[in-house]
A and B are shown apart, each in its own frame.
Chain A
Amino acid sequence: MKKSIKSLAVLIGICAFVAVIIALTNSITAPIIEANEAKKSNEALLEVLPEGGSFDLVDISEKQLPESVNEVYRAANGGYVVKLTVSGYAPGMVIVCGVNSDGTVSGSKLVSSGETPSIGGTAAEKFKSAVIGKTISDIDTVDTIASATKTTLGYRNAIKDALNTVVILGGGEVDLRSEEEILADNLSAALPAGEGKFTKYFFVEAIDGIDAIYTADNESGAVCVIGEDFIGADAEGNALTECSEEAAELVKTAITKVNSTIMSEIDLTAFEGLPSQLISAKLTESGNYVIDIKGAGYGITGGDEYHPASGEYILIRVSIGADGKILDCLTLSQAETKGIGDACANESFYGQFDGKTEESYNEIDAISGATLTTDGYKKAISRAFESVKILKGGN
Chain B
Amino acid sequence: MNVCSKCETELHGDDLLDGCPNCGSKLFKFVNTKAIEEKKRREKEEQEKMEDSSPEEDITIDENSVESIKVEDKGVYEVNLLHILEGETDVYSDKEGNYAIDINALFKKSRKDEDEEEN
A and B part of one assembly: no
